Amino acid sequence: MARKRLPPNDPREWLNRARSNLTRAASPLPGAYLEDFCFDAQQAAEKAIKAVFMANGLAFP
């Protein structure tokens, strides 16, 4: 089920995006490379960290 999109400056949108990447990382597809799942897991972590920075009014490098 698709989540409601929020503005890109809303930390909740970055958590939604992180959840999306984590869902893809946890759903192996036949024939897909392992490193593609690792990339999605890494992206999930990075987007979640960005959400924390934004929620606290900090610049994200």
pLDDT tens-digit map of 6-61: 999 999 999 999 999 999 999 878 899 999 999 999 999 999 999 999 999 998 77
Q: Would you say residue 61 lies in a domain?
A: no
Neighbours of 4 (CB within 10 A): 7
Q: Would you say residue 49 lies in a domain?
A: yes
Q: What pTM, to 2 d.p., does this model score?
A: 0.84
Kindly report the CA angle at 6 between 55 and 50, in degrees rounded to 5? 35
Q: Would you say residue 32 lies in a domain?
A: yes
**What's the domain range around 31?**
11-55
Count of residues making up the chain? 61
Q: Name which of 21, 51, 16 is nearest 36 in CA terms.
A: 21
Number of domains in the chain: 1
Q: At what angle do helices 34-55 and 11-25 cross, to 10 degrees?
A: 160
The answer to whether 19 and 27 are in contact (CB under 8 A) is: no
